[in-house]
Amino acid sequence: MSIDDNLTYELFIKSAFNKGRCSDLAALVATDVFEPGSLEETKVAVAHAMTIFNNRIFGGSKKVDESDKTAMENFITNVINALDKKAVYTLINQYEEIRNKY
């Protein structure tokens, strides 16, 4: 994966946890999780982050479009089913396009 992919992953996870690396007890924020050989850890971290974001957004005061809500929920399943990290990276970017509306 490229440096940009690693940075996208790290910033996505950090913003979900609202913490830096030192507060990351599972060490999921570190970009080395996004390196080859750790697909399962990457999928867990990204799916967990998406769940955190979804809970914040769906529980907020802003009305969420039903199609966006369905898509955001489906991203979690898509991440779990991803076959490689490039697919996970693509899903992060697609998810962010919707999340940034809220």
Asked whether residue 15 carries a pLDDT value surpassing 60, the answer given is yes
* Average pLDDT of span 18-35: 57
59 pLDDT band, cuts 50/70/90, is very high
- pLDDT per position as a tens digit, 29-44: 665 555 656 888 889 9
26 pLDDT band, cuts 50/70/90, is low
Distances (CA, A) of 22 to 14, 25, 28: 11, 8, 11
Tell me what pLDDT residue 1 has: 61
Count of the separate structural domains present in the chain: 1
Full residue range of the structural domain in which residue 9 is found: 3-99
Tell me what pLDDT residue 41 has: 85
pTM above 0.85, yes or no: no
